[in-house]
Amino acid sequence: MVLDCSVSMSNEQRSLLYADLARFTRSGFGIDKACESLARQPGIDRRTRAVCEGILEGLASGRTVADSAIGLGLSEMECWVIEAAEKGGQLETGFRILADHFRQRHESRRRIRRGMIYPMVLIHFALVAGIGVSALLTSVNPSAGPGAGKAAFKSGLIWVLIAYAAVLIGIALIRMLSKAASGSAVIDACLRRVPFWGPMRRNDSLARFSEVFRIQLLSGGKMSVAWENAGRAAHSGTIGAATRTGAVSLAAGESLTEVLRNSGNAFPGDFSRSLANADITGRLDEEAAQWASYYREASAISVERFAEWMPKLVYGFALAIGAWMVLKIAFSYLSVINGFLDGLQNI
């Protein structure tokens, strides 16, 4: 299954789309009727309408919902969750998982942006004031050569542009690593160690894994297929690698206990132990539902913590920039005083 991973919808638009689809399917509407109703609603944005119309077109040609979603601007994770939910006969649950996921992302980003307004204003004020005052003091310094003020101002602007470029490169690198982590166990394991961000990614992946695993179990399919599909939906390189290997072992007749034992650090110890015991007692679907609920709450807490600390870290950086600019102005002022004193001594 080749997936189009382009992004064309905001987190808020995705959350509203999946919440509406979950609401329609829960009320007994078929996915075709749900998409048709959404596409005809007044005030709906053109991107959401395009997704609904694309799914309708795919269904009309005999394709599944997941296959119809390919090429409509949905991410790989979305396509895998939809495919797993569709095969398990629980599209409503799959849509709800995606709605909760994107709602959390939208709310956390909104909180981060709101919290970063003041520190970002402070950073730019400190830079403008620091560079401007320092350049002005340099221009009136008797010991400085002609054009020294302009040179100092240009030098400050160059450093600001370099800082902007570094920030943009850092953001692009983070996005690239985040995307690569879904297919690389090494990168995913490294990102799991990043404070605040790592736990948030891990809890989110485990919540999706547990939800989709439960859906697959209730559908009555093969354990190996359920295990692999849940790993794909987790969108985690570590979990994906472990479940691909585990699916082969399950298909060969190994027990889930053995598979979990050979999964390394892909799953937390208490999670693996609980699933192994539930497999023995025949209550695997109930245990998966409990862990899905647990990791949904843990994911929400991780998102809240990340959204709380990001502005604080930026604010600390803003204070450091402000302190550096104060020192820069102080040294420039001291240089001016020394220049005047040297001039008086030469009279």
Angle between helices 91-139 and 11-26 (to 10 degrees): 170
* Series of mean pLDDT values for 10-residue runs along the chain (347 residues): 51 92 91 90 86 91 88 82 84 89 86 84 84 80 74 85 90 89 90 88 91 83 88 90 93 92 90 92 90 89 84 84 82 76 63
Amino acid sitting at position 261: R
DSSP tag of 74: -
Question: Is residue 2, in this structure, part of any structural domain at all?
Answer: no
Same domain, 62 and 180: no
Same domain, 63 and 104: no
- At which residue do the structure tokens 């629980």 appear? 90
Alpha-carbon distance of 154 to 191, in angstroms, equals 38
Computed from CA positions of residues 273, 274, 280, 285, in that sequence, does the dihedral angle turn out positive or negative? negative
| Residue 106 near residue 304 (C-beta atoms within 8 A) | no
- pLDDT for 146 equals 76
| Residue 318 near residue 119 (C-beta atoms within 8 A) | yes
- pLDDT for 3 equals 37
pLDDT (tens digit, 9 = 90+) per residue, 107-137?
Answer: 888 888 888 888 888 888 888 888 888 888 7
Same domain, 291 and 181: yes
| Domains in the chain, number | 2
Q: Which two tokens stand for residue 184?
A: 């690389």
Helix (H/G/I), strand (E/B), else coil: 284: helix
Question: Is residue 80, in this structure, part of any structural domain at all?
Answer: no
For 147, phi then psi, to 5°, come to 80, 5
**CA distance readout (Å), 105 to 13, 96, 109, 211, 244:** 11, 14, 6, 18, 28
Alpha-carbon distance of 160 to 162, in angstroms, equals 5
In terms of Cα–Cα distance, which of 61, 84, 80, 62 is closest to 70?
80
**CA distance readout (Å), 19 to 49, 92, 99:** 15, 9, 5
Question: Is residue 121, in this structure, part of any structural domain at all?
Answer: yes
Half-sphere exposure of 168 (CA within 13 A, CB side): 6
Same domain, 69 and 119: no
In terms of Cα–Cα distance, which of 117, 141, 177 is closest to 311?
117
Same domain, 252 and 121: yes
Helix (H/G/I), strand (E/B), else coil: 248: helix
Same domain, 53 and 140: no
The CB density around residue 267, as the number of other CB atoms within 10 Å, is 21
Alpha-carbon distance of 22 to 187, in angstroms, equals 33
Question: The domain containing residue 193 runs over which residues?
Answer: 93-347
| Residue 148 near residue 134 (C-beta atoms within 8 A) | no
pLDDT (tens digit, 9 = 90+) per residue, 13-50?
Answer: 999 999 999 999 999 888 999 999 998 888 788 888 88
- pLDDT for 270 equals 92
**CA distance readout (Å), 39 to 21, 51, 210:** 11, 9, 32
In terms of Cα–Cα distance, which of 315, 314, 303, 319 is closest to 111?
303
Same domain, 138 and 22: no
Same domain, 66 and 116: no
